[in-house]
Amino acid sequence: MKFSRRVRQEVEVNLTPLIDVVFLLLIFFMVSTTFTKETHLLIDLPESSSQSDRVADLQIEVLITQEGDFAVNGVALINREQRTLRSAIVKVSEGDTAIPMVITADSATPHQSVVTAMDVAGQLGFSRLSITTTLANPAD
């Protein structure tokens, strides 16, 4: 007895759905990726020098109280006007804008007072400016 052989079909693996899924994943990751542009700030760091003792003596300190009153090198000003602050700084600096200036403000000081002090320093040409803060009430 002779049996007829079955015709074998070739086994195929259809790769089309697999490729479709890979492309969909690729598109998903491309769309969901965020590209961030980091900005960098160029800062000139101060360098140590042998004249540090002299610099400590030659500095202008503008102190701003909680109420917004100004004091230049420990001397309180009569009012909060910009021209009064300007004349006091010019008097203390004697026209030398290379002297470092420190603006010290209370943590509860109105922001406008600090901006006014910075404006005066910038208008007079001071380029070495530092800003420090103090606590309004150390017990807090």
User: Which CATH class for the 54-134 domain?
Assistant: alpha beta
Query: Domain coordinates of the chain in residue numbers?
Result: 54-134
pLDDT at residue 48, rounded to an integer: 60
Range 88-97, long-range pairs (CB < 8 A, 24+ positions): 89/60, 89/62, 89/120, 89/121, 89/124, 90/124, 92/60, 93/60, 93/124, 93/126, 97/124, 97/125, 97/126, 97/127
Q: What is the pLDDT of residues 49-76, one digit of tens each?
A: 555 444 456 888 999 888 888 998 888 8
- Of 40 and 24, more confident: 24
- Using a 10 angstrom Cβ sphere, with 0-12 exposed, 13-18 middle and 19 or more buried, the burial of residue 19 is exposed
Report pLDDT digits (tens) over 116-133: 888 888 888 888 888 888
